[in-house]
Structure 1
Amino acid sequence: IRMKKGYLSEYFDGVAAKCLSAVEVNLFRSNQHEFNGVRSLRRIFGHATGRQHFPAVFLYLDDVREPVSEEGFMTWYDAREAHPVRSEYRLYFPDTDVSRHAEEGDVLIIGKRPDGSLMVVISQGGSTAANQILWLFGLGNLSDGGFSVRDEFRDEENRTRHAVKTILETLGIVTREEDESFLDDMLASFGESFPCTRVFSEYARKTLPDLNPREDPDYVLLAWLEQEEVLFRTLEKYLITDRLKEGFGDDVDSFISFSLSVQNRRKSRAGHALENHLEEIFISRQICYQRGATTENRARPDFLFPSGGEYHDPFFDSNLLTMLGAKSTCKDRWRQVLSEAERIPDKHLLTLETAISTAQTDEMRGHRLQLVVPEPLAETYTTAQRDWLLDLRSFCEIVSGKQKKSGGRLLL
């Protein structure tokens, strides 16, 4: 599940990043929409001949709101082009809804795509979104005030593919990975339709028969999830291609309805897949659990250990109870877990979210919520955060230890 060399370079030829100063934020909000003295950007834009216009997609990201997106252009030119020896490079950008969101300390990323277009991302300083993008491009300290530039990506084979793919998708870049070698078998197994998520998750696991969840649950979980995603996209492409070829004519409502159904199915499947594969790991390690048991106020934790029966037994030692929420992405949704099991003050939440901000993880700790992150994804976090994080293997060992004390049996 590591990256193949050159993977990131399929989507970007180069990137530049900087932290926005108060002066630069004022530039965004004034009529002087230019960065001056940006000679370092020649590594991305090349030598300016006349005014070079680049089509661009602008994005603003934070950890609360939906992304703000707008299309426009940027202009690269040499203000002293006629001078025989002196150059003064400038980068012009338009006024957009994205630029109007900019604040001092926000992170600006300018990425040049292989087709010559640009992706311009402003992310809130110190946010998870900013951390993820800086990790994605291998850009560290931005405190010197200038642009940090990368025009090659040689070390990406050491990065976890799941992390890279999910961050690219937050930027609206869908990584198309399919495996048609399984298509005939899927059609023979499921016909011309999607099976229920539990059945599809089981099928995905069977296509990777050599993986042992008892040996390395962290690696196996990500491998199963990645395999299911590839198989799902393969089957999805086959099933919806004919509908797309038919087109929608001038029926906008039908197009929107179809698009929403595809998106909703993807989101629903991703969430259920995570729970399905976690469940198989718990079964393989003979851990007592109950999925979706009801607690107070009709709350339904994703996993309750050892079961809802013990949870509602007032004589059962609450110290031997554990709950685990499972969320592919966190954002502010992690707070939902806090009210799901009143008898268990110390909550656990497993997430696939990468590079969550220190402010967020500190707040989680303050609410006695322990984050569980598959070990390969921990590399996206700071050293101090990694000392606190639990990986899946460690979580399983904690629950198994409690199970031995309680003498529980496996509940399916």
Structure 2
Amino acid sequence: MAARGYLSEYFAGAGAKVLRGTEVDPAVSNGHEFQGVDAFRLFLGTPAEKEQVPVTYIWMDDEQEEPDRLELHGTWYDSRRGKGHRGPEYRLYYPAASEPVVHRAREGDTLFLCMTAERRVLAILCPAGSSTEQKLLWLFGLSLTEDYRLSPRELPADGGRDIDLAARFILGELGIEPEEEEPDALDRLVDRFGLKFPGTAEFSAFTRKTLTGVDPRDAPDAALIAWMEHEEALFRSLERRVVAERLTEGFSDGEMVDVDGFLSFSLSVQNRRKSRAGWAFGHHVEAILKARGVRYRREATTEKRNAADFLFPGEAEYADPSYPSARLSMLAVKTSCKDRWRQVLAEADRIAPKHLLTLEPAISEAQTHEMQASQLQLVLPAPLQETYRAPQREWLMDVAEFLSMIETKAKI
């Protein structure tokens, strides 16, 4: 995967720990403090007096579309101050206003404390064993201990983890949008379409045409990642220009500020981001299928008017009861899974197992075990598989393997 920048541009470091009930459960304690976090002195220092620090409290689980977030503060203090016979032990006190987020956690859940480059602490809480936990452990290179104490890691000032597609995905879930240089092809895009967004198919075709050194036939995994990264860079760069022009025009109706107009424009920007990525993913998958000469039907109708993203070899074969079910395949395409992967189970009753291609890194072992039990095979571009744990990687299928399976079935 191509990289654009380093994680250390956004974070000085991070730590992770397992939570005790005394830290987050009001039925056990009303202490309002994270304990076992003394190692975070690496980033917050050792002030003699209590020190208030900016803290963003975040709750993330695998079902939410957006995390719960509160921009507040916390108090960093030495809980043993004045007790000369014992060494210092620093804790982070959280205010009552943070309870709607903090009290969603339970004993055994996970806390991540992350120091941003702007010296704001992110206190991220998530369920134990969740995809969120696995993503953040991978992103920061952390591991959990059994003693409820924070395990920290300082990021090197000259780099750290590359901001590749997997890292961008996770940072995006945290509400962080990594900066990147404008692609060389942006001016060509604007010259051709102007300061407006072309249709998704046109945009994706332009993306593929302006990226050289990509081999969708013999290196489909690398091609898919490269195209998605290139289109993302083109889209975000064009978006900045479009938004800047609209903001320059302003939002006013005579002497009145057009609040509704501004809100409508902002909503359109967010909706375009969400829908475009899914369409781009499907377009690039289709380009790979065409490059390999694979027979398929896109948005194929099966039973109960359900539609499969890609059906192999086609609708006619699927509808023919005499056509062997063993020669049929389907591929659902989702940039992220969350809980939506279960929707795929209702598609194409004749086909088992079903296949789901995603770009989501580090899905939890609990989720992938459930997929296996539901006869759903996860397909993931090879470069993203490093974010998964070793037992999962033995089961995962990459794009090249999926294509080989389809081509083998066509010869039966």
User: Displacement of 1:247 after TM fit?
Assistant: 4.1
Change (3 A) 1:275 1:208: same
Structure 2 partner of 1:78:
78
Q: Secondary structure at the match of 1:243?
A: helix
Deviations 1:82-121 (A, max 9, x none): 6778434232112321111011121101111111111111
Q: Secondary structure at the match of 1:103?
A: coil
Change (3 A) 1:185 1:121: same
**Which of 399, 402, 409 is residue 402 of structure 1 equivalent to?**
409
User: Counterpart of 1:275 in structure 2: which amino acid?
Assistant: G
Deviations 1:128-177 (A, max 9, x none): 11111111111123323210001125897676711000001101111122
Change (3 A) 1:156 1:103: farther
CA distance in structure 2 between the aligned counterparts of 1:29 and 1:176, rounded to whole angstroms? 43
Deviations 1:201-230 (A, max 9, x none): 111111212111122111110110000000
Structure 2 partner of 1:62:
61
User: Displacement of 1:127 after TM fit?
Assistant: 0.9
Deviations 1:248-276 (A, max 9, x none): 46543322211111111111110011111
CA distance in structure 2 between the aligned counterparts of 1:49 and 1:251, rounded to whole angstroms? 50
Structure 2 partner of 1:32:
31
Is 2:335 the partner of 1:358? no
CA distance in structure 2 between the aligned counterparts of 1:28 and 1:220, rounded to whole angstroms? 53
Change (3 A) 1:40 1:245: same
Structure 2 partner of 1:280:
287
Do the aligned residues in 1 keep the contact of 2:24 with 2:32 (CA within 8 Å)? no
Do the aligned residues in 1 keep the contact of 2:135 with 2:387 (CA within 8 Å)? yes
CA distance in structure 1 between the aligned counterparts of 2:158 and 2:216, rounded to whole angstroms? 29
Structure 1 partner of 2:219:
216
Change (3 A) 1:29 1:223: farther
Q: Secondary structure at the match of 1:334?
A: helix
Is 2:150 the partner of 1:147? yes
Q: Which moved more, 1:209-218 or 1:321-330?
A: 209-218
Change (3 A) 1:111 1:157: closer
Please show how residues 27-176 of structure 1 align to structure 2 within 5 Å.
30-36=29-35, 38-65=37-64, 66-79=66-79, 81=81, 86-95=87-96, 96=98, 97-153=100-156, 161-176=164-179
Is 2:232 the partner of 1:225? no
Deviations 1:48-69 (A, max 9, x none): 1422221121110111134211
CA distance in structure 2 between the aligned counterparts of 1:156 and 1:366, rounded to whole angstroms? 40
CA distance in structure 2 between the aligned counterparts of 1:88 and 1:56, rounded to whole angstroms? 20
Do the aligned residues in 1 keep the contact of 2:12 with 2:117 (CA within 8 Å)? yes
Q: Secondary structure at the match of 1:302?
A: strand
Q: Which moved more, 1:123-132 or 1:223-232?
A: 123-132
Change (3 A) 1:176 1:105: same
Q: Secondary structure at the match of 1:292?
A: strand
CA distance in structure 1 between the aligned counterparts of 2:208 and 2:393, rounded to whole angstroms? 29
Do the aligned residues in 1 keep the contact of 2:224 with 2:284 (CA within 8 Å)? yes
Deviations 1:347-395 (A, max 9, x none): 0000111111111111111111111011111111111111111000000
Is 2:342 the partner of 1:335? yes
Please show how residues 284-295 of structure 1 align to structure 2 within 5 Å.
284-295=291-302
Q: Tell me, which stretches of 5 or more residues in structure 2 are unaligned?
A: none
User: Counterpart of 1:70 in structure 2: which amino acid?
Assistant: L
Structure 1 partner of 2:384:
377
Structure 2 partner of 1:344:
351
Change (3 A) 1:160 1:291: farther
User: Counterpart of 1:68 in structure 2: which amino acid?
Assistant: D
Do the aligned residues in 2 keep the contact of 1:364 with 1:370 (CA within 8 Å)? yes
Q: Secondary structure at the match of 2:185?
A: helix
User: Counterpart of 2:73 in structure 1: which amino acid?
Assistant: F
Do the aligned residues in 1 keep the contact of 2:23 with 2:29 (CA within 8 Å)? no
Do the aligned residues in 2 keep the contact of 1:29 with 1:99 (CA within 8 Å)? no
User: Displacement of 1:81 after TM fit?
Assistant: 5.0
Structure 2 partner of 1:301:
308
Structure 2 partner of 1:408:
none
Structure 1 partner of 2:10:
11
Q: Tell me, which stretches of 5 or more residues in structure 1 are unaligned?
A: 406-412
Do the aligned residues in 2 keep the contact of 1:29 with 1:100 (CA within 8 Å)? no
User: Counterpart of 1:48 in structure 2: which amino acid?
Assistant: P
Structure 2 partner of 1:318:
325
Aligned length: 404
User: Counterpart of 1:152 in structure 2: which amino acid?
Assistant: L
Change (3 A) 1:80 1:344: closer
